[in-house]
Structure 1
Amino acid sequence: MHAYRVGGLYNASRTSWNEGTYLRFTAAGPELILFFARPSAKEIADLRRGAPWFAWIDSEHVGLLAFKFGTAIPWSDAPYHPGRESEPVTFDHQGDNHLLLLVLLVDADTGIIRAMRQVTWPPAFAQRVARSIRRMSATPYSERAFDLALNQLYRQWPGTEQLVEERADITCYGGTDEVARGTGPDAAPD
């Protein structure tokens, strides 16, 4: 397992990345990586200490982790499908334990980690994400189906905040037990 540290490279063999957000599930647990070009001091501070909110949006061929940290990192999202993982990891979460999420803010221009934080997802949120991933894993992955599903969500809900308000299956305030069922088609209780 790679040991991350603020001030170090996210990946020792790369010093630049495309801007974007990525969700990965590793043997150590989930990671959310934010690649920002020249992150501001406020973005760094809010990633480290800002109020962490999360939402999960499940679609047939894509899952979206929506997130926001404080005020400097507004609602954004990271599309996910287990078929896109370079090293498939079985992700399942059962029981009453919180799930630890590692969040990294990386300067896309240098590859240097500018901030990192660990925050937990409440059990109900982690279980909902796991159920969605199990469902997606049960069918063959198609890049075309992934892209079509993602584009359909973005056409219908052009802003992540609106997507969260109108389509999220579950939301949570990170580090607490606070969850809320969303309005998405899969928002029914487990």
Structure 2
Amino acid sequence: MLREIRPAIVLLLVLTAITGLAYPLAMTAIAGALFPAQAQGSLLEKDGKVIGSALIGQEFRDNRYFHGRLSATVAPDPNDPTKTVPAPYNAANSGGSNLGPTSKALADRLREDVDKLKAENPNAAVPVDLVTTSASGLDPDISPEAAQFQVPRVARARNMPEDQVKQIVTANTEGRLFGLIGEPRVNVLALNLSLDRAAAR
């Protein structure tokens, strides 16, 4: 019986070593050598200090900054662990709100957000990605239209010419991958860092 079991055990150990150790270590080493920034989490720094990742959104409330896409992620309530509280861009609990088109709570929130944004910029249509959440709740990007919509508010708050702020948005707009895949987008954290650098100059 041992003669029949031994090849299976040897094969299990060999495949575990190959697929569980050798292959992941080799891929990690190759990724680290070819794409060091991405392999380390696409981290962004300001004054030598890591302030976030280009892959995960952050909440910006100050009018001096561009705001990202809304996040519906939650975290356990510190006062009652059986409940949850809003925790925007919580990478430990990625997910959407699961509110559907017939939800009154969603309709009320959308109406309030649209009204607030129309008051901020009455001369432009409100881009849909400024009032809807992404499926992951972690989206770091907004559309170029959503960024341009916010230009007047940011320019006013920073006392900068709108044209200068528009140029910063354009410089931070990424096109489709290979000109075909995905949509044009603006990384909000990278955009706000560029804005701070321009203001400092």
Q: Which has the higher contact order (CA 8 A, sep 6+)?
A: 1
Q: TM-score if structure 2 supplies the norm length?
A: 0.21
The normalised TM-score by structure 1 is: 0.22
Q: Which protein is richer in strand relative to its size? A: 1
